[in-house]
Amino acid sequence: MKDTAMKLLGLLLGVLIAVAGAAGAFGLLVLVFHFFPALEHRGLPWPAWLLALMLETLLVVGTVRLWARKRPMAIGILLAAGIFGTHFVMHIASHWNG
């Protein structure tokens, strides 16, 4: 029972780390658009796309690095990365004009 609880705690910690990283990235994006409003060219917020790609890359790299030592935490990060990636793809699909 203790082993299962530790694995679940690691999984939840991994999800929490990924969510904290996403919140930090979103805060950075808000600051970028606040100080540099001209970056949103023709309604296309390319810094948001770049930031989402960088966040996904960092989450996947973190998963690979943690896989051997802390697998439950790596699975939590991977789970959050999958959810963030799916959200990003659905956002692009719903706002696509061309």
Number of separate domains in the chain = 1
pLDDT at 96 over 80: no
The pTM for the full model equals 0.75
**Domain extent at residue 67:** 2-95
At residue 90, does pLDDT exceed 80? yes
Q: What is the pLDDT of residues 28-76, one digit of tens each?
A: 888 888 888 777 666 667 777 888 888 888 888 989 998 999 999 899 9
> Higher model confidence: residue 3 or residue 46?
3
pLDDT (mean) for 73-82: 90
Q: Provide Rg for the chain, Cα atoms.
A: 16
Number of CB atoms found within 10 A of residue 11's CB = 19
φ and ψ at residue 97, rounded to 5 degrees: -105, -10
User: How many whole angstroms separate alpha carbon 10 and alpha carbon 77?
Assistant: 10
